[in-house]
């Protein structure tokens, strides 16, 4: 086998892989899409509550240090 043709064939492998690679999206039922949307809203609410609790604790600790309680 000619080294030039071998090099050309080896160079073509990534080109073929990248040309054929792509995202495959399957069609989901509508109920799953709405359930995912509802879960997204629930997760955002839970994250907001956790961040709010952390800010409240931080604020109380800051207040305690300013007042000399800690």
pLDDT attached to residue 59? 97
pTM: 0.54
Instruction: Give the Å distances, CA to CA, from 70 to 24, 53, 62, 66.
Output: 57, 20, 9, 8
Local confidence band at 3 (pLDDT 50, 70, 90 cut-offs): confident
Is there a contact between 70 and 64 (Cβ–Cβ < 8 Å)?
yes
Query: Total structural domains in the chain?
Result: 1
Domain enclosing residue 20, as ranges: 3-66
Query: Is residue 16's pLDDT more than 70?
Result: no
């Amino acid at each position: 086998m000619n080294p030039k043709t071998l090099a050309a064939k080896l160079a073509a492998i990534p080109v073929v892989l990248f040309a054929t690679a792509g995202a495959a999206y399957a069609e989901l039922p509508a109920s799953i899409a709405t359930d995912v949307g509802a879960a997204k809203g629930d997760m955002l609410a839970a994250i907001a509550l956790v961040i709010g609790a952390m800010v409240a604790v931080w604020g109380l600790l800051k207040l305690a240090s300013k007042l000399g309680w800690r």
